[in-house]
Amino acid sequence: GMHKSTDGGETWRQIGDFYAEFPYLHPSDSRTLYVETLLGLVKSTDSGESWTSSSGGIVGTFISFMVLAPNAPDWIYIEGWGWSRSTDGGKSWSPLRSLRDAPGFNSLAIDPDDPNILYGANGGVWKTTDGGDTWRHSDRGLDSIRRVAVDPQDGRVLYAVRGTHPTSSDVYKSTDGGDNWVLGSTVGGQPGVLGVDPSDSRVVYAGGYRGGLSKSTDGGLTWNRTSLSSTYPRALTLDEQDPRTLYVMTNSEGLFKSEDGGERWNRLPTPFLGGTLAIDAGDRRILYAGNPYVGGAYKSVDGGLTWTPRNQGLRNTRINQVAVSRATGRIYLATGGAGVYVSDDQAETWQ
């Protein structure tokens, strides 16, 4: 917490129960100070006796991940130490009510047609129909759910991955918006990635630690491992313009690309392991990548063959997620300590 001494450090009194990282005193007003916390930037004008948020509505500057609404380009949800929602492309944010029974999600999926409908995975499946203001269980008692995905063509069709075994995971499917679930079959590995082909809902990919990447061509009923079988997939990105092209960022072997739906893979050079990747909205040869540990943001203009850093304007280079709006082309970075950055010039500058 935040503490204050008025006797040269002889005694101390707590003035804030938050985790304080960097306090800043106003240069001309000693009663005003700002503090960076895990809950965002807070401000006091009475020497720390009371505090107000100064983060524009963002609940926390450490952003774990974010989700963009496919058909509502200005709607964004972010998760840090709490949830926030923006309906104006990130210009302003509204904090959402925290979930006592599910303080944070492992993954979040949004309905392709209604930005108010979301599904979150954290042990079970949670659902909101009012943009995150209220949530309810939507899992029929399923536990150990680690990943959830929505069919891009039909928001009633969901997939959820349940991790109860050290070397395999169960994949469940719902066709009624999460009211009922049916077990399909198991895939190799603990839950890591889950994605649905944007043009063919029968094609689903799943994989994770100790299992590589598996593919289903019958809507999750049966699964076959792809030739990318010995890696640890950390991020899966499907090319919406050509869904047979997909990228997998792995934890220990870098970036892989397939142009035939996962039959064959080429390993691409990357400046880091793990991380996150997104494809430009207008030019599928342009890729954006980031890493939470080193390097910041990177850009490739040749489909991942070469990379250059793109960090102009970034105050924090710990990139937890990069996402691109299909409608506007705007790029969003979720950072580990500085909130959300946006770029409208293909990552040349950030603000």
* CB-based contact 306:318 (threshold 8 Å): no
Summarize pLDDT for 231-284 with one digit per residue, the tens. Answer: 788 889 999 889 899 999 988 888 999 999 999 999 998 877 778 899 999 999
**pLDDT, tens digit, for every residue of 166-187?**
777 889 999 999 999 999 888 8
| pLDDT classification of 219: cutoffs 50, 70, 90 | very high
Q: Is 332 helix (H, G, I), strand (E, B) or coil?
A: strand
Is residue 335 assigned to a domain?
Answer: no
101 & 26 share domain: no
pLDDT in tens, 70-103: 888 789 888 766 678 889 888 888 877 655 555 5
Give the integer Cα–Cα distance in Å for 347 and 27: 34
The string of DSSP codes covering 32-84 is -EEEEETTEEEEESSTTSS-EE-STT-S-SB--EEEE-TT-TT-EEEEESEEE
- Find out whether 219 and 198 touch, Cβ atoms under 8 Å: no
pTM score: 0.80
If asked whether residues 224 and 161 sit together in one domain, one would say yes
In a domain, 257, yes or no: no
Residue 107 shares a structural domain with residue 49: no
pLDDT for 297: 93
Q: Are residues 11 and 110 in the same domain?
A: no
**Does residue 245 fall inside a structural domain?**
no
Please identify, among 168, 203, 230, the residue that sits at the C-terminal boundary of a domain.
Answer: 230
Identify the domain boundary among 38, 53, 68.
Answer: 53
Residue 176's domain comprises 97-230
CA dist., res. 249 & res. 266, Å (int): 12
124 in the same domain as 180? yes
Considering the domain architecture, whether residues 117 and 49 belong to the same structural domain is answered as no
Q: Is the domain of 14 the same as that of 116?
A: no
Show the tokens assigned to 305. 């063959």
Q: Does 49 share its domain with 126?
A: no
- Cβ neighbors of 8 (< 8 A, separation 6 or more) are none
- DSSP of 248-297, one letter per residue? EEESSS-EEEESSTTSS-EEE--SSSS-EEEE-SS-TT-EEEE-SSSS-E
pLDDT at res. 149: 93
Mean of per-residue pLDDT scores for the chain: 84
Q: Rounded distance, CA 99 to CA 14, Å?
A: 27
Provide the pLDDT confidence category of residue 159 given band limits of 50, 70 and 90.
Answer: very high
DSSP state of 344: S
Give the Å distances, CA to CA, from 170 to 108, 110, 188, 233, 295: 18, 22, 9, 17, 35
By three-state DSSP, how is residue 168 classified? Answer: strand
Are residues 107 and 207 both part of a single domain?
yes
Residues 159 and 43 in one domain: no
Q: How long, in residues, is the chain?
A: 351
Residue 120 confidence (pLDDT) above 90: no
In a domain, 16, yes or no: yes
Asked whether residue 101 falls in the same domain as residue 224, the answer is: yes
292 vs 41: CA distance, rounded Å: 20
Q: Considering the domain boundaries, does residue 217 fall inside one?
A: yes
Same domain, 45 and 104: no
pLDDT at 197 over 90: yes
103 is a domain residue: yes
DSSP state of 336: B
d(C-alpha 337, C-alpha 58), whole Å: 12
What is the C-alpha end-to-end distance of the chain, expressed in Å?
A: 30
Asked if residue 108 belongs to a domain, the reply is yes
The enclosing domain of 107 has a CATH number of 2.130.10.10
Domain membership flag for residue 329:
no
pLDDT digits (tens, 9 = 90+) for 332-348: 998 876 778 899 999 99
The amino acid at 339 = G
* Total number of domains constituting the chain: 2
